[in-house]
């Protein structure tokens, strides 16, 4: 039983973030799965977890959940805070999966889902309180700025690598600080960030396979906007997708925030050229709404036929599959766009699981649950309808075959095959350096999208916008260097 203080704290949490976006796992018969931003409809379903080896009974059969005994006896509670997945079927699976594990190991598991836009403030509040409400916190982007407030996850990483082989370098660089030798997070899964485009809009401008370069994006997007009245969907707002798109453009033009040694190099001709490009793209192919978008705005616009191209995951398309098959069949995907320097993009989602460094946290249960989750990454990938990709490839041996022949009704069936090479064109925040705490703070403060927006709106010249962003970033890096957490 929870004491009064614990109950009051939970009531405060529910009041702050809204009951519709929060789920408490109280039994296998009731599962509420909320998806995305506030106001989206929760889904109710009943499900149970199955125990067996992780195998399938056919080429496109669902994986079966497996159970591995924890390394130590567990007890007490495990309270988990995480986002409401953009593919609701994932949360239906996850909540039953977590409850079943808790029943097996003697831990009372509670899962709280909130909208993705609310997660950063919730994590910040819990870590700053000194007495977090949850034992395990998850966000979909790097949380390196909280390194001083979380435990080292090296034990979990080492055990996972002992069992499943080396972690994907992309996720390692997004959860490990080489300056301190600390894993500030555990990153067992990630999500690619391809281009999503409406084929019917791009075919009339001579690009039926979508744009392959930033030049083609501008040329084709401007023509579509002029002739068909449909704009491009690259945001310049203080939200996650604008952050990711801005970095893909920056890197492809040869710019970056830091070099591989964590020295700030943003103020460069390459960065200015990228900002000039974004200004031109806005003037020729976008409208002012891109400055006020939330995380779901580009998804919604693509589905509604109001955007011709976005940088995003596959979630908008999966949503359309359930609401309008004609639209779903018109959405296709491209790899990272090529610029003057290269063709790379950030990951769309990089799961960072954090365990707060506080005396009231059930560290053993949190650690063992993450290992159990890693054991069952095939089920996570399947339940997310191929949205989530593994950081341990051997855990999802059929991923490529699923991408070649989508189990969930893609038309054509191989629509997702472009994602088979995603690790070749995806990189970590902080590239070509690590995702250190300064990079995490720069991301959290949306300095890069604001840099683009300042120039696009004419508030500053591209050179001025770059110089001002550099000054902000230098102050952030300086602070973290004084604390010994950033190199350079």
Provide the residue-wise pLDDT of the chain in tens; the chain has 488 residues. Answer: 333 333 334 434 444 444 333 333 322 222 222 233 333 222 222 223 333 233 344 567 899 999 999 999 999 999 999 999 999 999 999 999 999 999 999 999 999 999 999 999 999 999 999 999 999 999 999 999 999 999 999 999 999 999 999 999 999 999 999 999 999 999 999 999 999 999 999 999 999 999 999 999 999 999 999 999 999 999 999 999 999 999 999 999 999 999 999 999 999 999 999 999 999 999 999 999 999 999 899 999 999 999 999 999 999 999 999 999 999 999 999 999 999 999 999 999 999 999 999 999 999 999 999 999 999 999 999 999 999 999 999 999 999 999 999 999 999 999 999 999 999 999 999 999 999 999 999 999 999 999 999 999 999 999 999 999 999 999 999 999 999 999 98
What token pair was written down for 310? Answer: 């976005």
| Separation between Cα atoms, residue 6 and residue 23, nearest integer Å | 17
What is the strand order of the sheet 108-114 is part of?
108-114, 77-83, 136-139, 352-354
Half-sphere exposure of 290 (CA within 13 A, CB side): 30
> Can you state the angle between helices 214-228 and 269-285, rounded to 10 degrees?
20
Q: What is the dihedral of CA 134, 429, 242, 325, to 10 degrees?
A: -80
The pLDDT assigned to 58 comes to 58
- Tell the CATH topology of 195-348+422-482: D-Maltodextrin-Binding Protein; domain 2 (3.40.190)
The pLDDT assigned to 33 comes to 27
Strand-strand pairing, 389-390 and 189-191: antiparallel
Query: Residues 6 or more apart from 43 whose CB is under 8 A from it?
Result: 32, 33, 34, 35, 88, 91, 92
The pLDDT assigned to 80 comes to 99
Half-sphere exposure of 326 (CA within 13 A, CB side): 3
Whose structure tokens read 């969907």? 233
The pLDDT assigned to 283 comes to 99
The pLDDT assigned to 295 comes to 87
The pLDDT assigned to 56 comes to 41
| Separation between Cα atoms, residue 419 and residue 369, nearest integer Å | 28
The pLDDT assigned to 59 comes to 63
Q: 405 vs 55, 208, 319, 325, 415, CA distance in Å?
A: 18, 21, 19, 18, 8
- In this structure, how many other beta carbons lie within 10 angstroms of the beta carbon of residue 226? 11
Domain with CATH 3.40.190.10 in the chain: 4-187+352-387, 195-348+422-482
| Model pTM score | 0.87
| Separation between Cα atoms, residue 75 and residue 80, nearest integer Å | 15
Tell me, rounded to whole angstroms, the distance of Cα 340 from its chain centroid.
Answer: 27
The pLDDT assigned to 154 comes to 99
Whose structure tokens read 């088979």? 420
- In this structure, how many other beta carbons lie within 10 angstroms of the beta carbon of residue 195? 23
The pLDDT assigned to 39 comes to 30
Q: Which CATH number fits domain 4-187+352-387: 3.40.50.1980, 3.20.20.220, 3.40.190.10, 3.30.70.260?
A: 3.40.190.10
């Amino acid at each position: 039983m929870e004491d009064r203080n614990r109950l009051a704290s939970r009531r405060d949490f529910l009041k702050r973030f809204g009951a519709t976006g929060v789920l408490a796992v109280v039994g296998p018969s009731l599962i509420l799965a909320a998806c995305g931003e506030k106001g989206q409809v929760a889904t109710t379903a009943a499900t149970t977890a199955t125990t067996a080896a992780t195998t399938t009974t056919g080429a496109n059969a669902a994986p079966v959940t497996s159970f591995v005994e924890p390394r130590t006896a567990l007890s007490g509670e495990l309270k988990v805070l995480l986002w409401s997945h953009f593919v609701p079927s994932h949360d239906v699976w996850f909540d039953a999966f977590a409850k079943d594990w808790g029943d097996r190991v003697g831990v009372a598991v509670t899962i709280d889902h909130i909208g993705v836009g609310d997660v950063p403030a919730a994590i910040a509040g819990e870590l700053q309180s000194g007495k977090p409400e949850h034992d395990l916190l998850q966000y979909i982007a790097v949380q390196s700025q909280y390194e001083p407030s979380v435990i080292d996850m090296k034990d979990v990483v080492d055990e996972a690598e002992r069992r499943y082989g080396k972690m994907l370098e992309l996720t390692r660089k997004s959860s490990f600080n080489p300056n301190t030798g600390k894993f500030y997070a555990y990153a067992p899964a990630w999500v690619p960030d391809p281009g999503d485009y409406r084929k019917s809009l791009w075919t009339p401008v001579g690009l039926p396979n979508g744009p392959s370069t930033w030049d083609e994006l501008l040329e084709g997007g401007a023509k579509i906007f002029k002739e068909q009245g449909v704009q491009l969907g690259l945001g310049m707002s203080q939200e996650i997708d604008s952050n990711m798109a801005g970095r893909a453009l920056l890197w492809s033009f040869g710019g970056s925030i830091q070099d591989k040694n964590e020295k700030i190099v943003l103020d460069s001709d390459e960065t200015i050229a990228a900002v000039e490009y974004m200004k031109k793209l806005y003037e020729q192919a976008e409208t002012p709404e891109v400055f006020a978008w939330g995380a779901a705005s580009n998804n919604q616009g693509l589905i509604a036929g109001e955007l011709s191209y976005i940088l995003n995951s596959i979630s908008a398309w999966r949503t359309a599959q359930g609401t309008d098959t004609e639209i779903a069949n018109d959405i296709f995907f491209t790899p990272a766009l090529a610029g003057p320097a290269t063709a790379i993009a950030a990951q769309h989602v990089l799961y960072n699981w954090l365990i707060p460094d506080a005396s009231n946290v059930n560290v053993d249960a949190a650690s063992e649950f993450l290992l159990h989750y890693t054991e069952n990454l095939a089920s996570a990938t399947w339940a997310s309808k191929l949205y989530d990709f593994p950081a341990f490839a051997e855990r999802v041996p059929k991923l490529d075959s699923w991408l070649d022949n989508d189990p969930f009704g893609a038309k054509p069936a191989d629509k997702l095959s472009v994602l088979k090479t995603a690790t070749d064109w995806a990189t970590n925040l902080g590239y070509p350096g690590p995702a250190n705490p300064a990079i995490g703070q720069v991301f959290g403060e949306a300095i890069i999208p604001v840099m683009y927006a300042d120039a696009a709106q004419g508030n500053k010249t591209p050179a001025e916008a770059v110089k001002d962003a550099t000054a902000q970033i230098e102050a952030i890096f300086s602070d973290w260097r004084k604390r010994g957490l950033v190199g350079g």
